[in-house]
Amino acid sequence: MKKIVLLGVIVLLTTHISAQDEKIVPSFEQILSLKSAGTPVISPDGNHVLFTVTQTDWKNNRYDTEIWLSKDRQKPFQFTNNPDDNSGNPEWSPDGKWIAFTSNRGNKNQIYAIYTEGGEAFPVTREKNGVGAFEWSPDGTQIAFTVQQETEKDDKKREDRYGSYAVEDDEYKLTRLMVIDFDPDNLEYFVLPCYEKDSLTKETLCQKWPEPEKLIDSVDYTITSFQWSPNGEMIVFNHQPDPLFNSSFKSDISILDTDTKEITTLVANAGSDGFIDWSPDSKSVLYTSDVDNTSSNYYMNSRYFRIDTDGNNNRELGMDFDENLSGMKWTVQGIYATAYQKTLRPLFLMNPDNGKVEKVLDDPARIYGLSVSKDGATMAYQGAGDKSLREVYLVSLGNNKTVQLTDFTAQINNWKYSVPEVISWKSKDGSIIEGILHKPMDYDPGRKYPLLVNIHGGPTGISLPEPAPSSVYPVLQWLDKGALVLMPNYRGSAGYGEEFRKLNVENLGVGDAWDVMSGIEYLDKEGLIDTDKMGTMGWSQGGYISAFLTTNTSAFKAVSVGAGISNWMTYYVNTDIHPFTRQYLNATPWENEEIYRKTSPITNINNASTPTLIQHGEFDKRVPIPNAYELFQGLQDVGVDTKLIVYKGFGHGITKPKERLAAMWHNWQWFGKYLWGEDIEMPELSKRR
């Protein structure tokens, strides 16, 4: 009798545990609704952390971003709420008593301030065209910010007389630098009215809004970024001739004396120069520079320098480090930074005197977005592992004692998520290529799986091992359907050093295709995949490589090309980044037409046979939409099954949730049809027929 009862208890417990542990396949909407944290901002004393949280607003078809706060390392809570727009870019006042941020609350993007202990936020600025970047002065009495120059009156005069037209590369607004006083003891603006003439109103009782002062208002350049020196006596700023993308190659660095308002050029090389951070003693500036390189900076390692504010003692740092450093913060301990090391991203410390770089923290596996306390003892950052989403952490740098402040990974705890594995293989030319192989949770090593290849953009992007990839490609749903997904870090990807990034120079498409196809050959030799059921896809550079594959191999049953290049020659004259093509192909089309033909998918259009879906944004300037129409018409002309879907109102990326959902469904339909022979209807649309 006791045995029977015990057995019953075991059955009940097993059933209960099974129900708790049961994993679900998330819907497309759930994937696109994952909340994510932005870059953290630590308080000056190191006790509190601000960060943004972005979530999906399906009703209004947008992504809503608000500011969250963790006080004294406790559970974070939402700190701002703008129902109609976003709140972002939070910054602590130097004394930690105030938080400034930007938000559009019906009056363009303005700076708002709110007391750290709570209360209502109030506007600090009321600029007609809104504000851009901002920063507190070190004493907390002022806030500097950027604004665009006002040209509306001149524009209207021209339009009234001549109608509407635009001159290419000559229609822009320069950005100036302003400063406004911040007086927390006089916050009740407009409590008393102001009159020009009224004998009963005393002028001393009239309370006026603080008027900003122009710090830098040059007609010779536009300001792209700036930073106050720790002692408050100077502002270093980047500037370039105009805000056009390609003018960033002519960026220089200057310093403003905040007392005399005198401006001194600090760094002005032939290549792009950009400041990074001040030394803690305000005597030196850390900066990056291409020096005299204007022909290969897209794929060469960044170079780092320090220079004294008087222009002396200029020397290069980090020359022995073979990757690009990010998020560099100069503290009394040294210069902290992160960098990809293949698919890992540790925390490094650079010695500002000798430039040596050493690893100081590698857990979690990938670290992003550094923010350091005033004394340099505590750091906040984002971190992610192979089985976790990005979380916000706080670490004591003396002993590396770490506290995790968020738990965004809880969103996927009951999901059937990916089990990613980093694999490597040898490409056609002997280069070692890595990739992420995503497997289902119930992976069976004894069977062969259909394969879908998902190719990242860039080319200096990178695919990482993560449990829940979120994009317009339904990776988790394909895994549950019984497929493997390979994400190759083809030649040119970040994280593998300068020489690896140079491998697709004058070899775009060709070498990339070697890397993809050799990865497939490796998986086939390992007995993992069914080569009769394969597809490939990608966006931007990944879309280009997919287009190249669709016209140069018949190995796939289906291809999806997202915002991909089809013809380098027509791309070159239409894109907004002409130097990209000149650098990677090492010529203009007029100098070397053959290299443009060799690397263009359209060249071998007559060999195409694979059904190809093409997805493109209507107003894409980075990869203009003629690339989509050219590939679409070419495939039609040679009798290949193809479909072109244009996402209305979008540029190079699809930035709204409903259209992302549509794009995900379009890919689900396309590969479902050609890999699994399924006729899939999009929900609701079938009812219209």
Where are the domains positioned within the chain?
333-414, 418-680
Stretch (H or E) spanning 458: none
pTM of the predicted protein model: 0.92
Q: Which amino acid is at 295?
A: S
Residue 7: its pLDDT value, please?
33
Stretch (H or E) spanning 2: helix 2-21
Q: What is the mean pLDDT of residues 530-537?
A: 98
Sequence-ordered list of residues with C-beta below 8 angstroms from that of 54, at least 6 positions apart, any chain: 35, 36, 38, 63, 64, 65
- The per-residue pLDDT for range 358-417, each reduced to its tens digit, is 999 999 999 999 999 999 999 999 999 999 999 999 999 988 899 999 999 999 999 999
Dihedral over Cα of 7, 8, 11, 13: its sign:
negative
Q: Which of 6-15, 152-161, 369-378 has the highest mean pLDDT?
A: 369-378
Residue 14: its pLDDT value, please?
35
Tell which phi-psi region holds residue 274, choosing left (phi > 0), alpha (psi between -120 and 50) or beta.
beta
Q: What is the mean pLDDT of residues 434-457?
A: 97
Alpha-carbon gap, residue 678 to 685, rounded angstroms: 17
Classify 418-680 by CATH class: alpha beta
Task: Give the residue with greater pLDDT, 183 vs 224.
Answer: 224
- The per-residue pLDDT for range 209-265, each reduced to its tens digit, is 778 999 998 889 999 999 999 999 999 999 999 999 899 999 999 999 999 999 999
The chain-wide mean pLDDT, for the chain, equals: 92
DSSP string, 590-634: TT-HHHHHHT-GGGGGGG--S-EEEEEETT-SSS-THHHHHHHHH
Residue 12: its pLDDT value, please?
30
Beta carbons within 10 angstroms of residue 396's beta carbon: 14
Distance of alpha carbon 335 from the chain centroid: 23
Q: What is the mean pLDDT of residues 33-42?
A: 96
**Mean pLDDT lowest among 15-24, 311-320, 492-501, 550-559:** 15-24
- The per-residue pLDDT for range 335-368, each reduced to its tens digit, is 999 999 999 999 999 999 999 999 999 999 999 9
Q: What is the mean pLDDT of residues 141-153?
A: 88
Alpha-carbon gap, residue 476 to 478, rounded angstroms: 5
Alpha-carbon gap, residue 305 to 324, rounded angstroms: 13
Tell which phi-psi region holds residue 482, choosing left (phi > 0), alpha (psi between -120 and 50) or beta.
left
Question: pLDDT confidence of 686, banded at 50, 70, 90?
Answer: low
Quote the strand ranges of 373-431, DSSP E.
378-384, 391-396, 401-404, 419-426
Checking if the pLDDT of 192 tops 60, the result is no
Q: Which amino acid is at 572?
A: Y
- The per-residue pLDDT for range 556-574, each reduced to its tens digit, is 999 999 999 999 999 999 9
Contact of 236 with 278, CB cutoff 8 Å? yes
